[in-house]
Amino acid sequence: MFKKSQFFILLTSIFFSAFYNDLFWKKVAVVYPFGTANIWYFISLFIVLSSVIYIVLTLINFKYILKPVLIILFMITASTSYFMNSYGVVIDDQMINNLFETQVAEANDLVSWKLFFDLFIWGVIPSIIVYFMKFEYRTIGKHLLYKLLYLFLALLVIVANLFTFSKFYTSFFREHKPIRYYTNPTYYLYSFGKFIHNKYQNRNIVVQKTGLDAKLVEGKKPKLLILVVGESARADHFSLNGYKRDTNPYLSKENIINFDNFYSCGTETATSVPCMFSMLKRSDFSIRAGLEHENLLDVAKRAGVRIKWIDNNSDSKGVATRIKNVVNIRTKKIEHFCDSGECRDEAMLVGLQKFIDKDTKDTIIVLHQMGNHGPAYYKRYPKKFERFKPVCKSNQLQECSKESIINAYDNAISYTDYFLSKTIDLLKKSETKYDTAMIYMSDHGESLGEKGVYLHAMPYFIAPIAQRHIASVAWFGDKFDHIDKQCVKKIANKEYSQDNYFSTVLGLMGIKTKVYKKKDDIFATCRKD
């Protein structure tokens, strides 16, 4: 019987449902507490999930295809199960996109012995069993006929369950739709298909020119604006926003303007960064739409602004594609700031004064931080910034105490605070030649174990507020008199989002163009010129 491929597929489907869907069943149990009243719902749901997996596997049940595909599925499903259980994440198309854009150093932060152990138990061992199985196949005609029969029976089982427990499934699909995102391997297979479809669609994109009429209104002195793009800094861990710990000892001494009610466009870098630089709103933005339009830097460049992008993260996510002056400091291995494949954010400031002084003209410098990139928060700051102890020094966050995770995260926030103060110091040195300003904004927030969720990249509509409520501050030089700073402080506590970024920066630089929207410019009502 085990030699019958279709029977083996049935056992495999049940095995997947039972042993690779821990997080899914936990989510279901939260909504429908396991007990006598709900036991039949669990049994029905188990049958439906197994039947769906059975249908998927039946579709690939061919003599020379089944074994290699099953081996690949076991290895990938074991991996996704591990990451879902460890960090409470959803493996959707955006997460898959992040995987393909992740650098080796970032990927290393996620590798652990537990990962290899889980892969061996739930990936390698089942794969070995599959490899040595000898399946018997009917003739092609009979095989296809029986395949159709099995597919029909599986669909019949699903329909029968949906009708028998219609009231339960109506509630499950309408009110608790996000729970299905945790099914394994069905949802990541669907998401991978969506990812491939999007990649195929994005192959032959023609970039639309944006702000062809852009002109720079020159002032008495050129402007020097540094845009710091943060990483995974949630607003409620900034003491500037009332956090109990003093994580902003340096910025609190500067005359900064703190925005305590700012929200991100996405929950992962690949979406948030291109979205914040795009003229599109979050409601209209997609990776493809972002690629189809020129962005803030393109418009500024067209207006005659000198642009420089310095990266300590993966890359610009397409924002700086058409900018010539792009530097990734990880490839530079700057002495005192880079070691073991890791660079501190301060490395981005090395030699920057020389670039600023080289040509005195209106300039935008973008500093893309490593910031609070998890799960290895303890790697994001120098040892001397380890103020809060003990710290979690493992990428297995679920195995660390909540206190140690937060300590490591807060130390990284404190280092960002220091880095921003050093950036401000750099700007102060240039005040004789430039009107100087800095805007810091995190790309998205971060979950630190609340309700079993870690890191970020949850689908936006179900993402916790910790992944959407971001830290953001602005600083203006003493001689920057283009806006009324006291006026800005009065409106700083209003709700803003990264939708405001595009027009706010254009307005701040004095760039006139039809794509500028005054209503989106945070500083518009406080501008003097």
Kindly report, residue by residue over 372-399, the tens digit of the pLDDT: 999 999 999 999 999 999 999 988 898 8
* CA 225 – CA 274 distance, rounded (Å): 19
Q: What is the pLDDT of residue 396?
A: 86
180 touches 187 (CB < 8 A): yes
The beta strands (E) that lie in 361-490 are given as 363-368, 435-442, 447-448, 454-455, 469-476
DSSP 428: H
Half-sphere exposure of 441 (CA within 13 A, CB side): 27
* CA 495 – CA 491 distance, rounded (Å): 9
Domains plus CATH for the chain? 5-201 (no CATH), 215-302+363-526 (3.40.720.10)
Distances (CA, A) of 92 to 85, 86, 181, 195, 232: 15, 16, 8, 9, 19
Q: What is the pLDDT of residue 463?
A: 94
Q: What is the pLDDT of residue 3?
A: 62
* CA 169 – CA 172 distance, rounded (Å): 5
Q: Which two tokens stand for residue 333?
A: 């291995």
| Residue 464, SS3 per DSSP | coil
Instruction: Kindly report the pTM of this predicted structure.
Output: 0.88
* CA 274 – CA 443 distance, rounded (Å): 10
Q: Residue 469: phi, psi to the nearest 5?
A: -85, 110
444 touches 264 (CB < 8 A): yes
DSSP 166: H
Q: What is the pLDDT of residue 307?
A: 98
Q: Residue 347: phi, psi to the nearest 5?
A: -60, -25
Distances (CA, A) of 524 to 18, 303, 476, 491, 527: 57, 19, 15, 11, 5
Q: Which residue has the tokens 């931080």?
A: 369
**Considering Cα of 201, then 203, then 209, then 211, what sign does the dihedral take?**
positive
Contacts of 55 by beta carbon, 8 Å cutoff, 6+ apart: 151, 154, 155
Which residues of the chain are modeled with pLDDT < 70? 1-3
Angle at 181 between CA 317 and CA 393, to 5 degrees: 60
Task: Give the β-pairing of 435-442 and 223-230.
Answer: parallel
* CA 330 – CA 428 distance, rounded (Å): 26
DSSP 173: H
Partners of residue 473 on adjacent β-strands: 258, 440
Q: What is the pLDDT of residue 177?
A: 82
